[in-house]
Structure 1
């Protein structure tokens, strides 16, 4: 299984405001061209099931995921229920950082094609990194960087 961790700093934005933008999935298609379509259904337990259609290397990837929001910790977790990945799960986290917000995206995925994993997995990882960077730029105007890995102090 491949693992991706991305960091971005949203300067001048409070963590709660950034978290609200990240969890507002319905707005993704209007804020970034990477996400073509998202439909969201809220379940009685407060979790959400969302259906995604995302541009992926000249084609489209589709999946359904369960999203669990934790506004008290400014985190959300997701786990694929079905779709083009065999496994796709991860989280978003927002933390105070200087005069803004540190955004941390993590994901683990498996395309489920072991014989082509050496070829396809690096391409899928690169595309996922690019897509998340575009999403973050569209949502909060931040650029993804790997220089923000140190935990916030305070």
Structure 2
């Protein structure tokens, strides 16, 4: 199962960065690959969100459960249904001398074992690019 972790240092305090990351329904306004993010359920420290993305002209759709840990500056997510067999991971924010290091972990499985060897390297590259774009977009929101 491919796993991708990307990191970026953002010149800013972790609390406002956490609020931007937590506000997932706003992502399509500053992340060009996302068509929509809709919050289906909202709990005290959880949401269930429905995502539609456009990756290289291919529509990818999924629903995920997000759990927020504001005291730890961490958000976990896990696909509950969607186009991939598995997609889960977490956002972590850690204070560093230059600001806040933000990391995004994505663990995924395409779900077709016979062609996984061929597709996983391609998907891993696309997930890394998408993750880097997400981190850069969050950075731009804080440092603009």
TM-score computed with the length of structure 2 as normaliser: 0.92
Question: Cα deviation per residue 1:117-147 (whole Å; 9 max; x = unaligned)?
Answer: 01111111111111111112222229xxxxx
Question: Cα deviation per residue 1:74-115 (whole Å; 9 max; x = unaligned)?
Answer: 000000000001000000000101131100111211010101
Unpaired stretches in structure 1, ≥5 consecutive residues? 143-154
Q: Give the 5 Å matches for 1:37-48.
A: 37-44=36-43, 46-48=45-47
- Superposition deviation, residue 25 in structure 1: 0.5
Q: Give the 5 Å matches for 1:1-150.
A: 1-11=1-11, 13-44=12-43, 46-141=45-140
Unpaired stretches in structure 2, ≥5 consecutive residues? none
User: Which segment is superposed worse, 71-80 or 133-142?
Assistant: 133-142
TM-score computed with the length of structure 1 as normaliser: 0.86
RMSD: 1.4
Helix, strand or coil at the partner of 2:39: strand
Kindly indicate which of the two structures has a greater share of residues assigned to helix: 2
The 1-side partners of 2:135 and 2:41 are apart by 23
Tell me which stretches of 4 or more aligned residues in structure 1 moved more than 3 Å. Answer: 42-46
The 1-side partners of 2:92 and 2:14 are apart by 9
Helix, strand or coil at the partner of 1:131: helix
